Structure 1
Amino acid sequence: MQLVGLHHIAIIGSDYARSRDFYHRILGLPIVSESWREERQSWKLNLALPDGSQIELFSFPATPPRPSRPEACGLRHLALAVGNLEHARATLSAKGIELEAIRLDDITGQRFCFFADPDGLPIELYECRR
């Protein structure tokens, strides 16, 4: 087996319209496709990331909450690479998003910070200066 990269990450939102707005308008991810799946009573939205991977956003009726803190088993967070952490923080802050303070990765020396999506999923902005 030869893995060639990450294709997509799937997220289920508790409020589809709110999550759609967050990932598309606030984060600025372009919509690849959007469809209503009648048999599942579910929306499926594909959003493009600059590297070609995607975020799949789903809605399902009556979804149970998933614990994400403290350190529950499963997906820990979604990390998005940015070229300029201050610019990314300023852009999100201007849109009303609360961000944690900038931290320094003690292993790589790179800077990062966290914020949350509408359902509390931790999202990391990880600065990748080239």
Structure 2
Amino acid sequence: MNLKKIHHIAVICSNYEVSKDFYVRVLGLTPIREVYREERDSYKLDLEVNGQYQIELFSFPNPPARVNNPEGAGLRHLAFEVDNIEVEVQHLRGVQVEVEDIRIDPWTQKKFTFFKDPDGLPIELYEC
């Protein structure tokens, strides 16, 4: 195999408008295109992350809840690299997002923290 990079990450949300607001307004991701797929009664919003990666935000009627705490098998979390974690944590707390205390990775000595999207998907900020 010759994998080059992650092309996109797909996230299914329970309330499309709430999650769209969170990923666009709170996290600052840039919408690329939004389509409604009538045959699935589903929206799909493509989001750009700093011009490099893409997150696909989906709505589906009545998706099952995500297994969380204790962690279930599958995707554990979504992680974003940031330059200054304190600034980003201050922003999130300023828009009423609950953020864990900043920790230090014992192997890399880098700062990181976690918060959750509206459906409880864990999101990590990692300072590089």
- TM-score interval for Structure 1 and Structure 2 normalised by the shorter chain: over 0.9
Could you say which residue in structure 1 is the equivalent of 2:27? 27
> Which residue identity is paired with 1:10?
A
| Partner SS, residue 12 of structure 2 | strand
| Partner SS, residue 124 of structure 2 | strand
Gaps of 5+ in 1: none
Could you say which residue in structure 2 is the equivalent of 1:18? 18
Q: Deviations over 1:17-61 (max 9, x none)?
A: 000000000000000100000000000000001151111000000
CA contact (8 A) 2:66 2:120 kept: no
> Which residue identity is paired with 2:60?
F
Aligned counterparts of 2:108 and 2:17: Cα–Cα separation in 1: 37
Equivalent residues, number? 128
Aligned identity (percent) is 54
Aligned counterparts of 2:39 and 2:71: Cα–Cα separation in 1: 34
Aligned counterparts of 1:101 and 1:108: Cα–Cα separation in 2: 18
Could you say which residue in structure 1 is the equivalent of 2:101? 101
Aligned counterparts of 1:71 and 1:39: Cα–Cα separation in 2: 33
CA contact (8 A) 1:16 1:58 kept: yes
Aligned counterparts of 1:71 and 1:91: Cα–Cα separation in 2: 27
Aligned counterparts of 1:107 and 1:51: Cα–Cα separation in 2: 29
Aligned counterparts of 1:40 and 1:29: Cα–Cα separation in 2: 25
